[in-house]
Structure 1
Amino acid sequence: MYTKREKWWGYAFIAPQLLGMIVFSLLPLIFAFALSFMSWDGFGERTFVGLDNYIQQFQDPVFRTAMRNTTLYSLFVIPGGIIAALGAALALNKVKGKDFYRMLFFMPVVTSSVSIGVIWMWLLNGDIGLINQLLAMAGIDGPNWLTDQKLVLPSIAALSIWWGLGTNMVIFLAGLQGISRSYYEAADIDGATPWQKFRHITFPLLSPTTFFVAIMIVIASFQVFDQAYVMTQGGPGKASYTLVYHIFDMAFTRTAFGPSTASAMILFAIILIFTLIQFSVSRKWVHYEDGGR
């Protein structure tokens, strides 16, 4: 049992973090929720309008476009991010000097989103971009990646998968290194193939890690903003106009803070629902080495 003095010291250590969370996270969230039921331009008086902001958003074709684009983007990024990170982790797990390669993969993560966006704007440029130059060397006429309405979302999704690869790969590497070698030794004795070992040992025991990575990618994919803002400004023709871009546009371009916060609350509800669904479904496919669930 802890003494009263030790308890107070514990409270003192967590107080700054707790205070910061209340001031910078909880209180703004409460204010945003209240503001979603009001009409306010940021300067005048706030007027209570009930559910009008939410009804307006669901009836707004621009909001529906943003929702569709965000959903399509997430469908690219979620499976692509998991597969790319898991594949990279499996490839590096037994490579000598893995720490060096892990550093190389992780470098984009610590690079500013604006810098990443500007670099990829050049790489994906339809006229002078490096990617199209390489395709031209192979006799392929490269498309206009960022000005084609059909290709702009997959292009931004490819950037996001590459950008998040370092973080997710490091997490998968940690999960792989936590799997006991005794399982593989027993499988080798039984004559298991590499695919059988991956299917029956690696992937099941890696499921808690996969679950965590999936949640993080889902949350990040629905909050995509920097890439679209820097590279395309939501274009062409709102083909890359995402939900967070819509929230930004409503608040800081149109000064419609009520509808903007209503959109933010809808996004919060979507992420919460998806996270709860993932937790619910995880009970059937997430397996632990100690046989917990």
Structure 2
Amino acid sequence: MHADAKPPRLRRDGRAAALFAGPSLLGLTVFTLFPIVLSLVMAFFRWPAVGERAFTGLDNFTTLFTDPVFRRSLFNTLLFVVLYLPLNLIVSVGLAVWMGPRIRGRKALRVVFFLPVVTPMVANAVVWRMIYQPNGLIDGSLYAATGVHAPNFLGEQGWAMFAVVAMSVWQGFGYNMLVFSAALDAIPRHLLEAAQIDGAGPWRQFFRIMLPMISPALFFASTMTLITSFQVFTQPFLLTAGGPGNDTETLMMFVFDKGFSIYQFGLASAGAWIVFVLILGVTAVQFAGQRRWVNYDV
């Protein structure tokens, strides 16, 4: 046998591994890698659904940044991220701390708080539209209590984005809450008991012990939440359809409109790659700065 020849068993194992991995690799190539590469190519072409295609270089990107609707969509997306990310983290961390070991029925509470995450977004949006609409739950309750009508949250400028953010926080905080709850349960009890004996109150225990020890979970949750925030689409699409005006139109809604309403696939691809670069840049900054506040030594 040649010195470099593989034993028959290793060759059989290699063929078996290739056989089992083949369908997944084929699906990954056809439905993920090929569309990514094609979208990058399309971003530099005028690529209508019907008609002649032509190479345009950076013209698609120039067109987007001179488009007031795109700039508004970019602003709306950044506003959503700035509002949604801290609210999601504050609510999820707060509830995770509140549901400590001494809370009765904490397992049932975890299930209840996690339910919106697994509930279909369409169903959630329908319910929240009924809550927000005139004579809905908020307006009816406020009028019955004070005689004053609530604003038209989904139809008035200045309110719509806050309504979308509130619904999104309710929809998504349950996942991070479970992450933080598991991280808090992993903190050794004797550390908190020792701090309590030394006279540390609940706030000091939280900031000096709990928060540093759950910092890896906080980094993971903030990174994942940030990525999904930049890709927000379903909530404003279902609640407001981007209105009133363009007050809640996000980057992904803009990409969807360019790609599947007017069939300008080159512009849509360029917009999608701008979103990718934004997410990549912000995530890189997070990873670069994690050494300053994430503690992996506990």
TM > 0.5 between the two?
A: yes
Please say if 1:175 is aligned against 2:183.
yes
CA distance in 2: counterparts of 1:112 and 1:100, whole angstroms:
20
Deviates more, 1:39-48 or 1:206-215: 39-48
One-letter amino acid matched to 1:165 = F
Offset at residue 20 of structure 1 (A)? 3.0
* TM-score, length basis structure 1: 0.93
Gaps of 5+ in 1: none
Amino acid at match of 2:203: W
Three-state SS of the structure 2 residue aligned to 1:246 is helix
1:132 corresponds in structure 2 to 139
Match of 1:115 among 96, 113, 123: 123
Shift of 1:171: 1.0
> Residue in 2 aligned with 1:33?
40
Confirm or deny that 1:75 pairs with 2:63. no
After superposition, the Cα gap between the structure-2 partners of 1:4 and 1:196, relative to the gap in structure 1 and judged at 3 Å, is farther
Aligned residue for 1:237? 245
Which residue number corresponds to residue 271 of structure 1? 279
The answer for the alignment partner of 1:281 in structure 2 is 289
Tell me which of 145, 151, 160 is aligned to 2:159. 151
Instruction: Show the 5 A alignment for 1:162-241.
Output: 162-241=170-249
Q: 2:97 aligns with which of 82, 90, 103?
A: 90
What is the percent sequence identity of the aligned residues? 40
CA gap 1:235/1:186 in 2 versus in 1, 3 angstroms:
same
| Structure 1 residue 229 displacement after superposition | 1.2
Matches within 5 A, 1:42-53: 42-53=49-60
Relative distance call for 1:57 and 1:178 in structure 2 (3 A) is: same
Between 36-45 and 76-85, the greater mean CA deviation after superposition: 36-45
**What is the RMSD of the two structures over their aligned residues, measured on CA atoms?**
1.8
| TM-score between both structures, scaled by the size of structure 2 | 0.91
Gap change, CA 1:200 and 1:257, over 3 Å in 2: same
Q: Residue deviations 1:149-178, cap 9 Å, x none?
A: 101001100000010011111111111112
Q: Which amino acid aligns with 1:280?
A: A
Q: State the one-letter code of the partner of 1:79.
A: P
Q: CA deviation at 1:180?
A: 1.5
What is the one-letter code of the residue matched to 1:40?
Answer: W
The structure-2 alpha-carbon separation of the partners of 1:17 and 1:186, relative to structure 1 and needing over 3 Å to count, comes to: farther
Going from structure 1 to structure 2, the CA distance change for 1:201 and 1:118 (only over 3 Å counts) comes to same
Larger Rg: 2
- Alignment match, 2:256: 248
How far apart, in 1, do the equivalents of 2:14 and 2:203 lie? 52
Aligned residues: 288
Segments of structure 2 that go 5 or more residues without pairing to the other structure are 1-8
Q: Give the 3 Å change call, closer, same or farther, for CA 194–280 of structure 1 in structure 2.
A: same
Q: For residue 220 of structure 1, report the CA deviation from its aligned partner.
A: 1.2
Structure 1 range deviating more: 90-99 or 154-163: 90-99
Q: Residues of 2 paired with 1:193 and 1:261: CA distance?
A: 53
Residue 20 (structure 1) aligned with residue 34 (structure 2): no
Distance 1:15 1:174, change over 3 A: farther
Secondary structure of residue in 2 paired with 1:239:
coil
Structure 1 residue 223, shift from structure 2 partner: 0.8
Q: Secondary structure of 1:138's match?
A: helix
Structure 1 68/189 Cα, relative in aligned 2: closer, same or farther at 3 Å? same
**1:10: how far off?**
5.3
- Code of the residue aligned with 2:206 in structure 1: it is F
User: Given residue 77 of structure 1, which amino acid in structure 2 is its aligned partner?
Assistant: Y
Q: Which moved more, 1:166-175 or 1:138-147?
A: 138-147
The 2-side partners of 1:198 and 1:73 are apart by 28
Q: How much does 1:88 deviate?
A: 1.1
